[in-house]
Amino acid sequence: MPLYSSAIAFTASTWVLNSQNENVVFGDIRTENHILCDGRSLEVSPDVEMDFRNMPFDDGQFKLVVFDPPHLVRAGKQSWLALKYGKLENDWREDLRKGFSECFRVLATDGVLIFKWNETQIKVSEILKLTDQKPLFGHISGKRANTHWMTFIKVERLKEVC
């Protein structure tokens, strides 16, 4: 099985180094083009238009899943942040709970889930309550140290350690 990444609700070109990699599937709920107020162009062009709450993939299909959902609840409808990253709805807790569930469903046993969250508006501790899985480790980055990268592994059973 080749290595696949399923990323949702982000513009792939914002942080993916090789968006043309044939072993990677990029997903988003939308396909859009915008001209921002400063004249820059913003393109959201996923390989697969999909909803992270109901992914069109088989159980255990991917060895690697990258989950980078929208993190804003307060943003203007036409703000560049909302256009670029998307915006959470009022039922964001249930949406993210379903998103985590879907990520682990499509993830193969012993597969890796990379989760990215910016806690400017919602603390990462609130987000981690939405899944029964626990991250193995993570990294905090960003100018204000509010972006969290976390790594999970899907295990079916605990392995003995010598």
Kindly report, residue by residue over 24-57, the tens digit of the pLDDT: 888 888 888 888 888 888 778 788 899 999 999 9
Token duo for residue 13: 């070109």
pTM for the structure as a whole: 0.84
pLDDT in tens, 12-21: 445 556 667 7
Q: How confident is the model at residue 60 (pLDDT cuts 50, 70, 90)?
A: very high
**The CATH number of the domain covering residues in 6-153:** 3.40.50.150
Residues facing 137 on adjacent strands: 151
- The residue with tokens 């626990």 is 134
Q: How far is CA 141 from the centre of its chain?
A: 16
Strand pairing of 25-28 and 32-35?
Answer: unpaired
Distance CA 100, CA 12 (A): 19
Residues 104-122: tens digit of each pLDDT: 999 999 999 999 999 999 9
Domain ranges of the chain: 6-153
